[in-house]
C-alpha cells in the first residue's frame, strides 16, 4: 500500500465491502453525519482513509476510490462488542450527550478500546509518509492521537470531535478520564463543533493534567502546546441543491404530497433511531396536539423517518420498541382507514428521495436533546430552492448556533415544543421566506469544503493541505466521476453492527 501525505482516520469507512454485480465498488452513503460530511470532500482529494468496513473477521481488500486510497482495519466479534458497542457507544456516546441515557462503565471494554485504538494508530503509521498530516475523527478514536505521536513523532496530527464534549462535571464520571484526555491531547490541533467544548476541555486539562490552558491553547507540563478551537461541520451544499432542483426530485416531491392525501401541512423528521434525537418527546407533543384537537389528522400529516442504528446495543433496541409502541398507539387512537396520524418509515433512503422528502415538508422538525451538529437541519435548508418551509430546531443541536432564523425550541419542554410547532405551522409565508433566505445565505458561505479548509489551514497554515481541496460550492458537481463508478447506496443491511440480533 502506498504512503500518503494526508491520512484521515475514522471508525467508519465510506466504502462497503460489498461489490455490485458488475464488480464496481459501492459508496456507503450511511445515515450518519461523519461519513456524509467527509465523503463529499475526500472523494476528490488525494488521501488515504483508514477505517472499519462494517463487518467482523479479516479486513476485506478494498479498491481505491479515485484518488482516495482505502485502508481497512479488521475487528473481531469480541472487539466489536467491547470497543464499538461497548466503550464507544455505551460509555462515551451517552456520557457526551448529557447522559440522557445512563453511561455504562465496564473495565474490559476499556481494555478493548485501548487495543483497537492502538491498531488504528499502527495502520495509520504504516500509510503516512514522512511528515504527513493525519486527521483523526471522533470519539471512537480518542487515544489514537497520542499512540500515533509515540509511533511517529514526525507527523502533524489533528483530531476532530463530531459529537459534543461534555461539561467537566459529567466528564469527571469517566473512570479513565485522565488517559482519555491525554490521548486526545496527543494531537497538535483538537477541533470541536462549538466553542463551549474547547472551554470544557481547557478546564479539564488544567484540573486533571496540570496544564496551562485557555480556550484556544493548552500547554502541557512537558511544554508541548496543543491548539483547540471550534470548527462547525457542514454539508455538501452544492450536492443537495443540485439534487433538489432536479425535475425528477421536484415531481417526486409532488407525488409524495399526493400520496400523503394532499394535506394542508406536512411535518417531517429524519433521524437515526437514537435516544439523543428526542423522538419520544416529539411524539408526546404530536399526540397531545391531536388529543387537544389543536391539529387534525386529515389536514396535518406527520412523517417520521427513523433509520435503525446500533441495533445490538440494549438501549437502542429498547428505544426502538418504545417508539414503535407509541407510534402504534397514536395511529390506533387518532388514525382512520387511509389516514395515518404518523407515517413511520424505518428505512434508509437514497439522497434523491431524502431531497424529495425535504421539499415536501412544510415544517421540518429537528429536536434532538443534544447533538454535536445535526446535518439534517442543514440538508433541509439546502434543499429548499423555493425559499419556503419552516425549520423547528432544538437549541441543543450545534446547528442552532448558525441557523438562528429557525424556530428555536427547548425539546425537553413539551408545552413549549407544542406551541413552537403551532407557531411554525401558522407562520406568515413572508416571514418564512425571510427566515429561509437568511439561513440559505449563511449555508452558502459555510459548506463542507469551507469547514475542511478552515480546519486544515489551522492545522498547517502553510496552505499545503487546504490547497488540495476543491473550491467551496464545487463538491457536488465535481464528485460525479467517482460517484458514477462508486454507486451511492443507502442500505447497509449487511453490516453486522446494524443487524438486529436473532430473536
The single residue among 490, 495, 497, 498 that binds ligand ADP, judged by CB under 6 A, is: 490
- Among ligand ADP, ligand G6P, none, partner that 406 touches (CB below 5 to 8 angstroms by kind): none
**Cα dist from 407 to 280, 283, 392, 436, whole Å:** 19, 18, 5, 11
State which H helix or E strand residue 438 sits in.
helix 429-445
Q: Based on the shown chain and the rule CB under 6 A, indicate whether residue 270 belongs to the binding site for ligand G6P.
A: no
Q: Which three cell numbers stand for residue 65?
A: 476510490
Shortest Å, Cβ 306 to ligand G6P:
14
Among 28, 97, 152, 162, binds ligand G6P (CB under 6 A): 162
Residues 429, 388: contact at Cβ < 8 Å? yes
| Nearer Cβ to ligand ADP (38/354) | 354
> From ligand G6P, ligand ADP, none, which one binds at residue 12 (CB under 5 to 8 Å depending on kind)?
ligand G6P
- Residue in 373, 390, 439, 458 binding ligand ADP, rule: CB under 6 A: 373
Going by C-alpha positions, the residue among 110, 108, 170, 152 that lies closest to residue 9 is 152
3-state secondary structure of 407: strand
What residues from 35 to 54 belong to the interface with ligand ADP (CB under 6 A)?
36
Nearest to 328 by CA among 382, 366, 379, 283: 283
- 371 has catalytic annotation: yes
Choose, by CB under 6 A, the member of 91, 276, 287, 309 that binds ligand G6P. Answer: 309
Work out which of 49, 275, 349, 455 binds ligand ADP, going by CB under 6 A: 349
Q: Which one, 125 or 373, has the nearer CB to ligand ADP?
A: 373
Q: CB under 5 to 8 A by kind: which of ligand G6P, ligand ADP, none does 138 bind?
A: ligand G6P
| Residues contacting 102, CB < 8 A, separation 6+ | 94
Instruction: Choose among 138, 160, 147, 89: nearest CA to 116.
Output: 147
Instruction: For cell 460489498, name the residue.
Output: 18
Q: Which of 199, 371, 446, 447 is catalytic?
A: 371
The distance from CA 144 to its chain's CA centroid, rounded to whole angstroms, is 20
Dihedral sign for Cα 123, 124, 128, 131, please: negative
Q: Which of ligand G6P, ligand ADP, none interacts with 69 (beta carbon under 5 to 8 A by kind)?
A: none
Among 31, 72, 94, 308, binds ligand ADP (CB under 6 A): 31
Active site residue 271: no
Among 65, 116, 376, 465, binds ligand ADP (CB under 6 A): 376
Binding mask 300-339 for ligand ADP (x = CB under 6 A): -----x-x--------------------------------
Three-class SS of 3-46 = CEEEEEEEEECCEEEEECCCCCEEEECCCCHHHHHHHHHHCCCC
Contact 2, 46 (CB under 8 A): no
Dihedral sign of CA atoms 161, 470, 244, 338 in order: negative
Closest by Cα among 378, 104, 66, 346 to 238? 378
Q: Which is nearer to ligand G6P, 301 or 373 (CB)?
A: 373
Question: Would you state the cell numbers that stand for residue 502, as one nine-digit string?
Answer: 436473532
Q: Which residue bears the cell 498547517?
A: 460
The count of chain residues that interact with ligand G6P, using the rule CB under 6 A, is 10
Choose the stretch contacting ligand ADP; rule: CB under 6 A; options: 42-50, 116-124, 315-323, 347-355.
347-355
Q: Which of 379, 417, 447, 456 binds ligand ADP (CB under 6 A)?
A: 379
Contact 160, 135 (CB under 8 A): yes
Q: Restricting to residues 22-61, name those near ligand G6P by CB under 6 A.
A: 32-35
Interaction between residue 204 and ligand ADP (CB under 6 A):
no
CA 451 to CA 112: how far, in whole Å? 32
User: Is 270 near ligand ADP (CB under 6 A)?
Assistant: yes
Collapsed DSSP state (helix, strand, coil) of residue 71: strand
State the binding partner of 374 from ligand G6P, ligand ADP, none, CB within 5 to 8 A by kind. Answer: ligand ADP
Under the rule (CB under 6 A), what is the footprint of ligand ADP? Answer: 31-33, 36, 270, 272, 305, 307, 348-349, 354, 373-376, 379, 490
Supply the residues annotated as catalytic. Answer: 162, 371
Under the rule (CB under 6 A), what is the footprint of ligand G6P? Answer: 12, 32-35, 138, 162-163, 309-310
Amino acid at each position: 500500500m502506498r504512503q500518503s501525505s494526508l491520512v484521515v482516520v475514522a471508525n467508519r469507512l465510506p466504502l462497503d465491502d460489498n461489490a455490485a454485480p458488475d464488480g464496481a465498488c459501492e459508496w456507503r452513503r450511511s445515515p450518519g453525519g461523519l461519513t456524509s460530511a467527509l465523503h463529499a470532500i475526500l472523494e476528490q482529494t488525494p488521501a488515504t482513509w483508514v477505517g472499519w468496513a462494517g463487518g467482523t473477521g479479516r479486513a476485506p481488500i478494498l479498491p481505491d476510490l479515485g484518488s482516495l486510497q482505502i485502508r481497512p482495519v479488521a475487528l473481531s466479534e469480541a472487539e466489536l462488542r467491547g470497543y464499538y458497542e461497548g466503550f464507544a457507544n455505551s460509555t462515551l456516546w451517552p456520557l457526551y450527550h448529557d447522559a440522557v441515557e445512563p453511561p455504562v462503565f465496564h473495565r474490559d471494554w476499556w481494555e478493548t478500546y485501548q487495543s483497537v485504538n492502538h491498531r488504528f494508530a499502527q495502520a495509520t503509521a504504516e500509510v503516512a509518509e514522512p511528515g504527513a498530516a493525519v486527521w483523526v475523527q471522533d470519539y471512537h478514536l480518542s487515544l489514537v492521537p497520542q499512540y500515533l505521536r509515540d509511533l511517529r513523532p514526525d507527523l502533524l496530527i489533528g483530531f476532530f470531535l463530531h459529537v459534543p464534549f461534555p461539561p467537566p462535571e459529567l466528564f469527571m464520571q469517566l473512570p479513565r478520564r485522565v488517559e482519555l484526555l491525554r490521548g486526545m491531547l496527543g494531537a497538535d490541533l483538537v477541533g470541536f463543533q462549538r466553542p463551549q467544548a474547547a472551554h470544557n476541555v481547557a478546564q479539564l486539562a488544567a484540573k486533571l493534567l496540570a496544564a496551562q490552558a485557555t480556550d484556544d491553547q493548552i500547554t502541557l507540563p512537558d511544554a508541548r502546546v496543543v491548539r483547540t478551537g471550534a470548527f462547525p461541520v457542514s454539508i455538501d451544499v452544492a450536492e443537495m441543491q443540485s439534487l433538489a432542483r432536479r425535475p425528477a426530485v421536484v415531481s417526486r416531491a409532488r407525488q409524495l404530497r399526493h400520496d400523503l392525501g394532499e394535506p394542508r401541512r406536512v411535518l417531517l423528521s429524519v433521524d437515526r433511531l437514537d435516544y439523543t434525537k428526542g423522538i419520544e418527546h416529539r411524539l408526546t407533543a404530536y399526540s397531545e396536539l391531536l388529543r387537544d384537537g389543536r391539529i387534525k389528522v386529515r389536514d396535518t400529516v406527520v412523517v417520521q423517518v427513523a433509520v435503525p442504528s446500533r441495533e445490538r446495543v440494549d438501549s437502542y433496541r429498547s428505544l426502538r420498541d418504545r417508539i414503535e409502541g407509541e407510534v402504534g398507539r397514536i395511529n390506533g387512537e387518532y388514525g382512520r382507514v387511509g389516514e395515518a396520524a404518523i407515517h413511520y418509515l424505518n428505512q434508509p433512503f437514497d439522497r434523491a428521495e431524502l431531497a424529495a422528502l425535504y421539499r415536501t415538508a412544510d415544517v421540518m422538525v429537528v429536536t434532538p436533546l443534544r447533538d454535536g451538529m445535526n446535518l439534517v437541519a442543514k440538508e433541509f435548508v439546502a434543499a429548499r430552492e423555493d425559499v419556503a418551509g419552516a425549520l423547528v430546531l432544538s437549541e441543543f443541536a450545534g446547528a442552532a448556533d448558525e441557523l438562528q432564523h429557525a424556530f428555536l425550541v427547548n425539546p425537553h419542554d413539551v408545552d413549549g415544543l407544542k406551541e413552537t410547532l403551532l407557531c411554525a405551522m401558522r407562520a406568515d409565508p413572508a416571514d418564512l421566506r425571510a427566515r429561509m433566505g437568511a439561513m440559505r445565505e449563511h449555508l452558502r458561505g459555510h459548506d463542507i469544503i469551507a469547514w475542511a479548509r478552515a480546519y486544515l489551514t489551522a492545522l498547517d497554515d502553510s496552505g499545503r493541505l487546504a490547497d488540495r481541496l476543491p473550491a467551496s460550492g464545487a463538491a457536488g458537481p465535481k464528485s460525479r466521476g467517482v460517484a458514477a463508478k462508486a454507486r451511492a447506496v443507502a442500505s447497509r443491511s449487511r453490516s453486522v453492527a446494524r443487524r438486529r440480533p436473532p430473536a
